Amino acid sequence: MGLFDKFEKNAALLSQLSAAGKNPFTVVMEEVLGPTRAKIKGRETVLAGTHNYLGQTFEPKAIAAAKEALDHDGTGTTGSRVANGTFSGHTKLEREIADFLGMKNCVVFSTGYAANLGAIAGFVDRNEDVVLIDADCHACIYDGCQLSGAETVRFRHNDPESLDKRLSRLDPKYNGKLVCIEGMYSMYGDIAPVKEFVEVAHKHGAHLLVDEAHSFGVYGETGKGVSEAEGVMDEIDFYTGTFSKALASIGGFMASNHPEAEYIRFASNPYRFTASPSPSTIASAGAALANISENPAIRAKLWENARRLHGAFVQFGLRLAAKPAPVISVLLPTREDAFEAWSFLLEQGVYVNMAIPPGTPGKESLLRLAVSSAHTNDDIDRLVAAYGALAEAFPSARVDGNA
């Protein structure tokens, strides 16, 4: 009663889907068989709906480092970064990330979600400052704005001119201005024109935060992200990221060239009031970071796989959301189509993500494939075959099928 009334509508839909065995939100990985395979509903399935972009989940060096940390430092820190939860592993990893990015400092949080929450709420004063966010930013950026309590203005997705207009008409009463964008956006796999955003933000005296959760390790000459690919690593003010995707662990961080940025350690509740990442997760993240920076071939393989899949899907006439990228999304006009198409792929032995509005940028639903460098030729063949069958069975997924 009361509290639960609002669940009714979704609960009805979800139980209907579950009854039909088509609920994308209750999938269980019954047995993990490797970086790109798991048993789902008793069947070996190709995983193409993960964030294991660089295939580090079973990297032997990361596993060895995690085991050693378990043996030496125990299972958990039992405390927050500002109390008993900062071990030498945490500060070492902060140094390593800062060095990898070529930035002055880095603050490690318990998740990427907490890093964005903590950075926004930590920097922005509810009475004096204002936040401007790309309309398609991740929930944790929206939540960070709410936590900050400051006035929040949205601008059009990937549209520096729209930001420019909004900055121009801001009341001069604001002291600090924080602009938040992402590197690669996770739903469509489209990337931000970071360079133009830097110019617009700085022209108006605003700071720019770039969340590279999905692009860290993936974009740029040396894997520093879209900011590197755009040639503006030295110009962005705050860089946030996560260990949960390319580094296949758990944790998050905020890096900066501003020496003052480190003060958020004392100003940010998502840093101060939650336990720090466990020693083994920190150790595996560090080992994965070392591994991917020493082996650029891993990133090259990811891009090779992404181009192969994207090329094949274009051939099939599928309606794709963006250019070749480690996320390849097929657009579908309705939720019903999306549920059907998603379970069709699962029956073909392929797991991808499904997203429906309002969790998607537009009015369409989508099937989201995330590529991994660990996808083998056999995996890619199976993905191509499954999407070929999808294109046949679902005209609504094709460019020519919306008539």
Ligand X SMILES: Cc1ncc(COP(=O)(O)O)c(C=O)c1O
| Site of interaction with other proteins (CB under 8 A) | 130, 135, 142, 145, 151-154, 156, 162, 165-166, 169-171, 357-358
Binding mask 297-336 for ligand X (x = CB under 6 A): ----------------------------------------
Min dist CB 242 to other proteins, Å, is 23
Stretch that binds ligand X, among 78-86, 107-115, 216-224, 288-296 (CB under 6 A): 107-115
Site for ligand X in 258-277 (CB under 6 A): none
350 forms part of the interface with ligand X (CB under 6 A)? no
256 forms part of the interface with ligand X (CB under 6 A)? no
278 forms part of the interface with ligand X (CB under 6 A)? no
Half-sphere exposure for 91 (CA within 13 Å, toward CB): 8
Report the residue number, 251 or 337, with the smaller CB distance to ligand X: 251
Name the binder of 276 from ligand X, other proteins, none, CB < 5-8 A by kind: none
Closest CA to 99 of 261, 204, 326, 255: 255
Min dist CB 37 to ligand X, Å, is 22
223 forms part of the interface with ligand X (CB under 6 A)? no
Contact 206, 177 (CB under 8 A): yes
Which of 49, 160, 252, 270 touches ligand X by CB under 6 A? 252
HEC states along the chain?
A: CHHHHHHHHHHHHHHHHHHCCCCHHHCCCCEEEECCEEEECCEEEEECCCCCCCCHHHCHHHHHHHHHHHHHHCCCCCCECCCCCCCHHHHHHHHHHHHHHCCCEEEEECCHHHHHHHHHHHHCCCCCCEEEEECCCCHHHHHHHHHHCCEEEEECCCCHHHHHHHHHCCCCCCCCEEEEEECECCCCCCECCHHHHHHHHHHCCCEEEEECCCCCCCCCCCCCCHHHHCCCCCCCCEEEEECCCCCCCCCEEEEECCHHHHHHHHHCHHHHCCECCCHHHHHHHHHHHHHHHHCHHHHHHHHHHHHHHHHHHHHCCECECCCCCCEEEEEECCHHHHHHHHHHHHHCCEECEEECCCCCCCCCEEEEEECCCCCCHHHHHHHHHHHHHHHHHCHHHEHHHCC
Report the residue number, 85 or 189, with the smaller CB distance to ligand X: 189
Name the binder of 90 from ligand X, other proteins, none, CB < 5-8 A by kind: none
Name the binder of 67 from ligand X, other proteins, none, CB < 5-8 A by kind: none
182 forms part of the interface with ligand X (CB under 6 A)? yes
Report the residue number, 79 or 359, with the smaller CB distance to other proteins: 359
186 forms part of the interface with ligand X (CB under 6 A)? yes
36 forms part of the interface with ligand X (CB under 6 A)? no
93 forms part of the interface with ligand X (CB under 6 A)? no
244 forms part of the interface with ligand X (CB under 6 A)? yes
Name the binder of 112 from ligand X, other proteins, none, CB < 5-8 A by kind: ligand X
113 forms part of the interface with ligand X (CB under 6 A)? yes
Stretch that binds ligand X, among 106-114, 226-234, 288-296, 388-396 (CB under 6 A): 106-114
Min dist CB 73 to ligand X, Å, is 21
Stretch that binds ligand X, among 194-202, 211-219, 280-288, 325-333 (CB under 6 A): 211-219
Report the residue number, 182 or 337, with the smaller CB distance to ligand X: 182
Tokens 């099937």 belong to 367
Which of 117, 140, 236, 350 touches ligand X by CB under 6 A? 140
Pairing of strands 43-47, 350-351: parallel
Report the residue number, 257 or 274, with the smaller CB distance to ligand X: 274
- Strand ranges across the sheet with 350-351: 31-34, 37-40, 43-47, 350-351
**Interface with ligand X (CB under 6 A):** 111-113, 116, 138, 140, 182, 186, 211, 213-214, 242, 244, 252
